[in-house]
Amino acid sequence: MRIGIPKEMKDNENRVGMTPAGVAELTKHGHTVFVQHTAGENSGFSDEEYAEVGAEILPTINEVYAQADMIVKVKEPIEPEYGLIRKDQLVFTYFHFACDRPLTDAMIKSGAVCLAYETVQKADRSLPLLVPMSEVAGRMAALNGAFYLQKTKGGKGKLISGVPGVKPTKVLVLGGGTVGEAAARMAAGMGADVTITDISLPRLRQLENELPANVHALYSTEHNIRKELPDVDIVIGSVLVPGDKTPHLITRSMLGLMEKGTVLVDVAIDQGGCFETSHPTTHSDPVYEVDGIVHYCVANIPGAVPNTSTMALTNATLKYAVALADKGWRQACKDDEALFKGLNIVDGKITYKAVADVWGLPY
Ligand code: NAD
């Protein structure tokens, strides 16, 4: 198969759809891979590295789309790319159709096969192509919380670990899923005194058993959260209620329970956020204050570490990309239920119910 790796066009998106290691695997399977000139540059991968593993470097995005039967990328196509996607071309990427009507309409019109990373789902309901980005975002949340605790950044002026003779800081993680576990592990590794909450008792048992001794698992109720707030230093929001809006576990009035300079990191901001006072921010302007409480609400946290994020993403997508290239999408989706669930739009028709329902379109 002929596979295309275009350079991402979305503002501030530095990741790329596949690393040279991934391309090497595809060429080993006999496929032809076209990589756009400088596509991997911002993730730390040069054209030469791709060429060494057999990729053909093409100068423009138009040529990559024109040559390829399958496009592998990171973010959803944006408006200038819509016209480049043609009938029956397979596009394997994050789409998030439920948040973007113009994209949905454009992909219906294109007649392409849209296989969305975010809905590839295994039998145990896990989302294997979302997990790696949550693992990155959780770790980064702890690092950013520690960074903004500095006095010069608006924080309380505390070092996350403390030092011998001075107590470590207190970190509260709301939601003990992939993001929450990664955040708790990182904060604990830096020496903080960590509390992680969830509404699932089996999950709390697992977290208590598997995480270091300076992490304590607490059942999530408003009462319990209120009791934690007066002496907490960093709160990390990582709750997800599938198919629903994220609940506001810390309301505006609860900000008054915390000391000024407390840092709130709302990782769940891409689903509306866990704090009532959260609104999305960007890497170029990541924080703001409400009532003296620092809010960090960047919606694409992994974008700050594109080298790690690109490698983590390729690790997860590669086996699916190889199957799609080896067998073609029809057979690959027949053979693998997880991949089948990734099909969102095929030949002008929506094939994923939740997307059709959001836009009131036929399914
Ligand atoms: P997950 O499904 O693995 O974990 C969510 C957890 O929240 C579950 O364990 C669930 O039991 C728990 N939960 C639900 N309601 C709760 C409540 N009331 N109190 C406490 N816990 C509750 O999800 P995840 O992969 O960890 O993702 C978490 C959020 O982070 C999602 O919204 C995801 O989209 C977002 N995310 C954001 C970025 C970013 O860059 N900002 C990156 C990756 C993920």
Read off the pLDDT of residues 116-150 as tens digits, 9 standing for 90 and up. 999 999 999 899 999 999 999 999 999 999 999 99
Q: In whole numbers, what is the pLDDT of the chain averaged over residues? A: 96
- Give the C-alpha separation, 258 to 78, whole Å: 41
Structure tokens at 96: 């998030």
Give residues with Cβ within 8 angstroms of 103, minimum separation 6.
Answer: 76, 77, 82, 95, 97
Residue 309 near ligand 1, beta carbon < 6 Å = no
**Per-residue pLDDT at 10:** 86
pTM of the model: 0.93
Parallel/antiparallel/unpaired status of strands 343-346 and 113-116: antiparallel
Q: What's the mean pLDDT in 59-79?
A: 97
Give residues with Cβ within 8 angstroms of 320, minimum separation 6.
Answer: 92, 120, 129, 332, 336, 339, 342
Instruction: Assess: ipTM above 0.90.
Output: yes
Residue 273 near ligand 1, beta carbon < 6 Å = no
Q: Residue 217 Cα, ligand 1 centroid: separation in angstroms?
A: 16
Are the C-beta atoms of residues 318 and 95 closer than 8 Å to each other? no
Which among 187, 182, 189 has a CA at the least distance from the CA of 143?
Answer: 187
Q: Is 270 annotated as catalytic?
A: yes
The number of angstroms, rounded, from the C-alpha of 256 to the middle of its chain's C-alpha atoms is 31
- Give the C-alpha separation, 154 to 89, whole Å: 49
Q: Residue 173 Cα, ligand 1 centroid: separation in angstroms?
A: 11
Pick the atom of ligand 1 nearest to 131's CA: 25
Residue 175 near ligand 1, beta carbon < 6 Å = yes
- Give the C-alpha separation, 316 to 310, whole Å: 10
Pick the atom of ligand 1 nearest to 179's CA: 26
DSSP 141-163: HHHHHHHHTSGGGTS----TT-B
Q: What is the CA radius of gyration of the chain?
A: 22
pLDDT band at 243 (very low <50, low <70, confident <90, very high): low
- Ligand 1, pocket-test mutation among 126, 186, 267, most atoms within 8 A of CB: 267
Give residues with Cβ within 8 angstroms of 146, minimum separation 6.
Answer: 160, 187, 190, 192, 234
**Per-residue pLDDT at 246:** 86
